[in-house]
Amino acid sequence: MSKTTVLIIDDEIKLTQSLAFTLRQAGMICLEAHNGHTGCNLLESQSPDVVLLDIRMPGQSGIEVLEWMTAEAPDIPVIMMSAFDDTKDAVTSIKMGAVDYISKPFDIDELIHLIEGTSRRKRLESEVKYLRQRYTNDPEFIGNSHLIRTLRQQVERVTESNVNTLLLSGETGAGKAVIAKQLHLKGSPADSPFVEINCATLPEGQIEAELFGADKGAVPGNVSRSRGLVEIADGGTLFLDEVSEMPLSVQAKLLTFIETRNYRPVGITREHYADVRVIAATNKSLEEAVADGSFRHDLFFRLNVMPIEIPPLRDRGQDIELLANYFAQRFAQETANKPIGFGKSTIAFFNSYPWPGNVRELRNLVERLTILHAGQVISADHLPSEFKSVDPVGPMSIEESIDGVERNMIQDALLKSGGKKGVAAERLGISRHALKRKMHRLGLQ
């Protein structure tokens, strides 16, 4: 993980130098500015993770720097510092967007915890923003099989309704996260957040605070109030992956939130409200989890109002070839390589293989093959050992070799012509329409 970069803006030079030395000893990178003007100049050329900003400075005050940052660097969190215990200044700075306020002299360990917590939340919010932009540009889930057409119709019906709690079930890698993102994109405002948490990755003692937030000191290491994912997802979607792994104690609080949209951060008695669509996903049978006592029956019934089953890849017929070609084009673009192709014998292997890792396994395989065999037609010899025991359905054909030759010639002509189909067709001695027909048949764009 990269080091946290801190910019200290304070007119007390000795204090700034001492504080910077201590934070460097703690493994951070420190930038120093001894007045507001220098601080703003540094902010224009650098991108620190956190700013420590003194409120009272001669010339440009901390409040004025904060006002400038609100317009010019709104994504950088600011912790205000002051030697004066002035509640008015604290309230003003928080209202203007500062994340916290600390009085001098301060406990250095407390300050380090505060900086680390602030930096962690900034990274989380940046990831949420990145993922939101990425998923907005993602294509609709790929497939023409009857199962996928039915699934697509379900998604459309759900997004047209006011349902705000859904349960997705399916094997690992089948695409539950893809469907959750589609439900979010189709049923939520364009700028609303999509927040994802895997319930199996957090210890029992942390998951409640991660979901609902926590007050200062309520959980170990919390030196200031932390926002939970429910608060971050307000107005959008909270995706709970592997919900079957959620501890029973947290399941009760989740049920209360789903039914009332009210929740209490750890250590806080006052209720908070968040308008959030909850999408839960599981690769296990929740009915069995209810039977063995590891999952609450009332939460299961509440989630199961609108169940959606994601089919495994092995049941999706012609979608396997369609997905393989889609991933081949996608990874070719991402790696600046020529796309790989798949002969009929390879597709026969694909159709006979059980795909225990589902779409995720196919995607990873195509990415690996793109790196190792860019521009080639993939044969059975290129496939990993797990395919060796597969009995492919369908005859081996010489057409595979012919398709491979045509593919390589067309790709070479397109490369030399700068992607211009008319020029490439002329090089190949065929019409533009004939070239387009061959490209379509060979799965080339």
Interatomic CA distance for residues 102 and 224, integer angstroms = 10
Interatomic CA distance for residues 151 and 311, integer angstroms = 9
197: Cβ contacts below 8 Å, ≥ 6 apart: 210, 211, 229, 238, 239, 240, 241
Interatomic CA distance for residues 199 and 204, integer angstroms = 9
CB atoms within 10 A of CB 201: 12
Which residue in 333, 321, 317, 407 sits closest to 362, CA to CA?
321
Interatomic CA distance for residues 57 and 200, integer angstroms = 48
- pLDDT tens-digit readout, 84-113: 766 777 788 888 888 888 888 888 888 888
Interatomic CA distance for residues 16 and 29, integer angstroms = 13
Decide which of 3.40.50.1240, 3.40.50.2300, 3.30.420.40, 3.30.470.20 is the CATH code for 5-123: 3.40.50.2300
Q: Which helix (H) or strand (E) holds 264?
A: none
Strands 262-263 and 272-273: antiparallel
pLDDT confidence tier of residue 226, bands split at 50, 70 and 90: confident
Strands 277-282 and 272-273: unpaired
Interatomic CA distance for residues 43 and 77, integer angstroms = 12
CA neighbours within 13 Å on the CB side: how many for 349?
Answer: 20
Can 5-123 and 138-309 be said to share one CATH topology?
Answer: yes
Which is more confidently placed, 100 or 257?
257
Residue 26 pLDDT greater than 80, yes or no: yes
Cβ proximity of 191 and 331 under 8 Å: no
Percent above pLDDT 90 for the chain: 42
**Cis omega (within 30 of 0) for bond into 74:** no
Residue 445: predicted pLDDT: 59
Q: 314-442 belongs to which CATH class?
A: mainly alpha
Paired strand residues for 198: 241
Measured in whole angstroms, the distance separating CA 188 from the mean position of its chain's CA atoms is 17
Residue 302: predicted pLDDT: 94
Residues 436-441, mean pLDDT to the nearest whole number:
79
At 169, list the tokens: 């079930």
Interatomic CA distance for residues 235 and 370, integer angstroms = 40
Which is more confidently placed, 123 or 214?
214
Tell whether domain 138-309 is in CATH 2.60.40.420. Answer: no
Residues 32-49, mean pLDDT to the nearest whole number:
90
Which residue in 205, 31, 4 sits closest to 112, CA to CA?
4
At 132, list the tokens: 């939101």
Highest mean pLDDT among 107-116, 267-276, 411-420, 426-435: 267-276
Residue 140 pLDDT greater than 60, yes or no: no
Residues 65-80, mean pLDDT to the nearest whole number:
89
Q: What mean pLDDT value characterizes the chain?
A: 86
Domain boundaries, the chain: 5-123, 138-309, 314-442
pLDDT confidence tier of residue 396, bands split at 50, 70 and 90: very low
Residue 136: predicted pLDDT: 45
Residue 94: predicted pLDDT: 86
The pTM assigned to this predicted structure is 0.60
- pLDDT tens-digit readout, 319-338: 899 899 889 988 988 888 88
Residue 126 pLDDT greater than 70, yes or no: no
Residue 418: predicted pLDDT: 75
Residues 366-388, mean pLDDT to the nearest whole number:
89
Cβ proximity of 88 and 66 under 8 Å: no
Which residue in 379, 359, 274, 253 sits closest to 315, CA to CA?
359
Interatomic CA distance for residues 149 and 161, integer angstroms = 19
